[in-house]
Structure 1
Amino acid sequence: MIQKQLKHKTAGEYLTFTNAKGSQMHYVGQVKNGKANGFGVAILSTGSRYVGDWKDNQRNGEGSFYWADGEYYTGHYVNDKRSGKGTYHWPNGEKFVGFWKDDERTGEGAFYGKKGDLVASGVWNHDELVVTNKP
């Protein structure tokens, strides 16, 4: 992600818009047709921020989203939702690595504890572990 940021270090345009969830976005980055398109950074009115790819004012492609409480997600987005492969981190060191669809863990994935130990892995559906892999 840092390499992409350095590649697009040129000054971008500034936009303010409201996302589908009602948060105001302050965006700096590539703009096409008056909307966030390409690589850019947005600070949300909630205190969260997103750094990554955009399409028509929506997160789309590779990116990282940082919540104000210290949680963060790095991975793929489709139509403003986590979809595809990604990793979700909690401030205490726990993480989930796997696949997402429409902002929910869906598909193969693994949950790791604070010390990096595997806690559970298998197939997830709508954010729930439905098939556990045998050790």
Structure 2
Amino acid sequence: MSPYCLIFEKACHLLVELEHNAYWAVRKLNFHMQAAWEKRLLQLNELDKFRLQTYENAKIYKEKTKRWHNKKIMECHFELGQYVLLFNSRLKLFPGKLKSRWSRPFCITKIFFHGAVELENESSRNQFKVNA
């Protein structure tokens, strides 16, 4: 026997008893190993079906949302010389509570084939391109 076991004899026995009780409980719970394995496999299959169904539902939701959004978009046709308002999408924080995100009317000077337009400021004659 080691000197530790001689001094702390009850502690050694207590550890062995605890280890034996833990082993007994694990053995009792896992007595039907095949049934537990089949049940776990069934749970994993159900979880996989649930995950696939969730992906399918998310796909359907995205398609419906896209159709609804595309239906709400109005198609704009611009012509040369037409006056338009410019939407400032970068204006996130503004000092005035009721400050508008739309800027003064600009005149369209050129229309590009890919959808961009060239606008001209009437007062300063500055020209710049924006996405239509």
TM-score, scaled to structure 2 = 0.17
More strand by share: 1
TM-score, scaled to structure 1 = 0.17
Larger radius of gyration: 2
More helix by share: 2
Q: Which has the higher contact order (CA 8 A, sep 6+)?
A: 2
